[in-house]
Amino acid sequence: MRRESALDSRDSDSRAPHEHRSPRPPLPDRLAVDPRSPHHVAAVLQHDIGIRLNGNERKDVEEYCVSEGWVKVAVGKKVDRHGNPLLIKLKGAVEAFYK
């Protein structure tokens, strides 16, 4: 009698990994990474999000607003008296998208 290997015992309904994910919620007009912010949406942040400012993708965005055309990014390693990063507002054409 032959022993089945792990490769032989696959499920017949195997799916690609992206098909097991929950459906993506629509991206809000304004989103913040900080959980204390009223614009923090945990369901959206569970997915990988990209932000373009003036056509260039930014990876250091803490908060954005598409309709007002700005993003907030951390200023180096500077922190305020509460230990939160200091943020600077950059203005331009903002585009949010799922990666």
d(CA 51, CA 83): 25
54-87 tens-digit pLDDT: 999 999 999 999 999 999 999 999 999 999 999 9
pTM for this model (two decimals): 0.74
- Count CB-CB contacts under 10 A for residue 84: 12
Pair 39, 30: CB distance under 8 Å: yes
Sequence-distant (≥ 6) Cβ neighbours of residue 51 within 8 angstroms: 57, 58, 61, 64, 71, 94, 95, 96, 97
